[in-house]
Amino acid sequence: MSNALEPKTRGNGKDILLQAFHWNLVKTKGTGTLSQSSDSWYQILINRVDDIYELGATIIYLPPPWIDDSEWHSGDKHGGGEGYFWRDFDLNSRYGSKAELIKLVQVFHSKNIKVIVDIVLNHRDRYRMKQDIWEYPGPAWRVGGSDTGGAFFDGSCDLKLDRPEVYTRFKQGLNELLDDCQVDGWRWDFVWGYHPKDVFNLIKDTEKAEYFSVGEYWQAASIKDDPMFQRYGSNERSRILGWAKESGCCVFDMLLKKEINSCNANYLKYGLNLSHDASEREMVATLVENHDTGASPFSTSNGWGQKVWECPSHFKSRAYAFILSTPGTPCIYWPDYFDWGLSEIKDLTQARKQAGITSSSNWIDLTERYGGFAAIIKNQSDEEALAISIDSNFLNPGDQWKVAAEKKDEWTVWLKK
């Protein structure tokens, strides 16, 4: 609906994201996977910076940074403190202190790794406010009315970003992260809960230029107050790309996630990251799993975590071979590599970098001839650079190619010699 906009926060096209957290890390009652550690999660990440650098990640994305001491209970499970029901713009969260966050960014910047953080604009804990106390119910809140987007559950905790006191305070909070902590951008949570212009304006109005931002537009059902349904109708592809175009950010490729979960390599080419339009390819970030969709390392308080839309385990290696070999900006989920040992992820990141694959790379479709997924991916100079076969009969691209990474009977990636 809109023409080219500035600012745009989509990195340099060569980035590899690492989601550097999962759902079970922290719990209000101290029963998360960190309960036996004296180090905060920020400090643990600082200690692992060399491992992350060797993995090949160029951007890590952190959990919500603001203080959250909420509690939730569901049957015999409990939790709280994950960051998604924060109460104040206080950077001393359960993941670590503001001082530790500043140190983390400095350490990762010394390795030329950018740091973005998860921002929850839509909702806030309405009962535990100790700073920026906004009367509830009152003009800062959706309750009994509407806001600039869709409701989070029943909407009782939703903020009205069109209220000056709310918008201005968010802008100040983002500026604190940019200026004091030197973070490089944002992962926007639950983006159908507010208007894309809210994101665009916050990026434009903050004082420092952000490097990379990505939104989570994940809404297949028709919701009347979702602004993307109002603007783009029932076509999910149009809504996802429309959000990216209007915000100037990347957006997660939830169409590809659906095809990944089908476990059919024939369908992988129907994700947004293989659009025929290069400008659309560079708008999307691809993922196999995140803290909501997939499992997290076991916690006594919450089992295996969210697991609301999980990639079946037998297809996960194939899925990583796909996202790390094809256009878009790929995102690795922390447990898949660091907890569950999918070591091939590192081989694939190195192959991607060596080949010079970018978020907008051109590609040659070989699937009709060979079945499964088979393709040749071009580098930024539009030269054939990487070949990939997943569950296909594409077995040898020729003498000019060498195997770069492989999992027998599942997939092979070749590089041009």
Cβ-contact 114, 185 below 8 angstroms: yes
With 0-12 / 13-18 / 19 or more C-beta atoms within 10 angstroms meaning exposed / middle / buried, residue 384 is middle
Q: Which helix (H) or strand (E) holds 55?
A: helix 49-55
Which candidate, 403, 399, 392, 285, places its Cα nearest to that of 344?
Answer: 403
- 178 CB-near residues (< 8 Å, 6+ apart): 206, 207, 208, 210
Q: What one-character-per-residue DSSP string does 278-321 give?
A: HHHHTTEEEES--TTTS--S-BTTTBT---SSPPPGGGHHHHHH
Instruction: State both tokens at 345.
Output: 């992820």
Cβ-contact 177, 183 below 8 angstroms: yes
**Conformational region of residue 248, where left means phi above 0, alpha means psi within -120 to 50, and beta covers everything else:** left
Q: Alpha-carbon distance 227 to 194, whole Å?
A: 7
Q: Alpha-carbon distance 264 to 187, whole Å?
A: 29
Which candidate, 348, 344, 342, 364, places its Cα nearest to that of 269?
Answer: 364
Given the residues 88, 100, 189, 259, select the one marked as catalytic.
189
* Residue 158 annotated as catalytic: no
H helices within 233-383, ranges in order? 236-247, 254-262, 278-281, 316-323, 334, 344-355, 367-370
333 in helix, strand or coil? strand
Given the residues 88, 216, 236, 246, select the one marked as catalytic.
216
* Residue 154 annotated as catalytic: no
Which candidate, 53, 22, 25, places its Cα nearest to that of 39?
Answer: 25
Q: Alpha-carbon distance 34 to 341, whole Å?
A: 19
- Sheet containing strand 384-390, edge to edge, reads 363-365, 373-378, 384-390, 411-416, 401-407
Q: Which residues are the active-site residues?
A: 189, 216
